[in-house]
């Protein structure tokens, strides 16, 4: 009797106008430049293509959404199921009066600079957030005293059945680095409210933010942005420094000496190295101060047996 062979995942996927790739290396599209492969990488052609894909996809297939890969750590074992990568097809930026409408794949930096070209203020802080609109919506990203919740009017998302939802900012349930929106929903666009301003004032704000970021953060290294959320009333970097973790290493993973709430890949760090280092930082901080740091970086994939989640 012939052994029963399960169909490959790619053979179970709906027909799509987008790009489908098996065993796609994800390290190339993450800022850490490390980690494993996606069982399937899917780049939708547009919102309609994504909606139809979701509508006809078998419900037991695991889905993961990636944007710029700036605030994620892909574990070495890779990611099972389908990784949806929202790329250039989700990157348009348009204007409606003083509102800016951006696709979920649009770079935060690009949105900020597009507003500057229109002499619109209020979104300068996005110039300091290395990610995409979709990721910024999901985690209520912020910088320099401003957050997405301060400027969002509404957003559009697709649920797992492919149905479109228009979500008012009032329904997001915003809090620090958090929203109440169903984590399975996929953001596809957002509308932000800006205000007219003098171009020189906008240029000055963005220049000051750029200088501050370059002088305080390891922006020229392989990093994933802020590693841990700030506990209530405290700064994560201060707790990490106080616990003696500045410059701590595991393999080629290192706690940045410039800003110790950043982990950096010195060149050949594995995802396991980075996660092990992060967990050691958490352990030392809790032992030193009693604070339990919560990961801000999104860790994706099956955890290594030597690390804890």
Q: How many other CB atoms are found less than 10 A from the CB of residue 242? A: 16
The residues, any chain, with a CB within 8 Å of residue 37's CB and separated by 6 or more, are 23, 24, 25, 26, 78, 79
For residue 166, give the nearest of 183, 151, 181 by alpha carbon: 181
Catalytic site residue from 226, 256, 270, 272: 226
Query: Is 177 considered catalytic here?
Result: yes
Contact (CB, 8 A) for 275 and 299? yes
Catalytic site residue from 222, 282, 296, 299: 296
Q: Could you tell me whether strands 186-193 and 99-103 are parallel, antiparallel, or unpaired per DSSP bridges?
A: antiparallel
| 277: Cα within 13 Å, side-chain hemisphere | 27
Segments of the chain assigned E as strands: 19-25, 37-43, 63-66, 72-74, 79-85, 93-96, 99-103, 120-121, 142-143, 146-147, 152-158, 164-168, 186-193, 195-196, 222-226, 249-250, 253-255, 262-265, 298-300
Query: Is 138 considered catalytic here?
Result: no
Catalytic site residue from 33, 177, 193, 246: 177
For helices 108-117 and 199-216, give the axis angle rounded to 10 degrees: 150
Q: What is the dihedral of CA 297, 189, 213, 218, to 10 degrees?
A: 40
For residue 156, give the nearest of 126, 191, 180 by alpha carbon: 191
Active site residues: 177, 226, 296
């Amino acid at each position: 009797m012939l052994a029963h062979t399960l169909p490959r995942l790619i053979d179970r996927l709906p027909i799509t106008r987008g790009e489908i790739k098996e065993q796609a290396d994800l390290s190339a599209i993450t800022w850490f430049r490390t980690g494993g492969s996606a069982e399937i990488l899917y780049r939708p052609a547009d919102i309609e293509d994504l909606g139809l894909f979701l509508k006809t996809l078998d419900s037991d297939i695991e889905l993961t959404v990636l944007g710029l890969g700036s605030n994620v750590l892909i574990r070495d074992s890779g990611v099972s199921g389908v990784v949806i990568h929202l790329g250039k097809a989700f990157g348009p930026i348009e204007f409606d009066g003083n509102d800016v409408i951006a696709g979920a794949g649009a770079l935060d930096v690009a949105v900020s600079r597009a507003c500057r070209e229109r002499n619109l203020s209020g979104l300068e802080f996005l110039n300091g957030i290395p990610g995409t609109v979709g990721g910024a919506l999901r985690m209520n990203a912020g910088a320099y005293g401003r957050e997405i919740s301060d400027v969002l009017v509404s957003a559009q998302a697709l649920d797992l059945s492919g149905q479109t939802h228009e979500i008012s900012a009032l329904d997001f349930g915003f809090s620090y680095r958090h929203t109440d929106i169903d984590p399975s929903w996929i953001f596809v666009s957002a509308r932000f409210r800006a205000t007219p301003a003098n171009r020189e004032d906008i240029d000055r704000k963005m220049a000051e933010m750029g200088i501050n970021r370059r002088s305080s953060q390891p922006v020229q290294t392989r990093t994933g942005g802020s590693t841990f959320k700030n506990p209530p009333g405290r700064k994560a970097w201060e707790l990490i420094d106080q616990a003696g973790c500045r410059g701590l290493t595991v393999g080629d993973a290192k706690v940045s000496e410039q800003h110790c709430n950043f982990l950096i890949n010195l060149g050949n760090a594995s995802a396991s190295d980075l996660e092990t280092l992060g967990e050691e930082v958490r352990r030392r901080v809790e032992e030193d101060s009693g604070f339990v740091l919560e990961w801000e970086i999104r860790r994706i994939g099956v955890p290594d047996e030597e690390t804890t989640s």
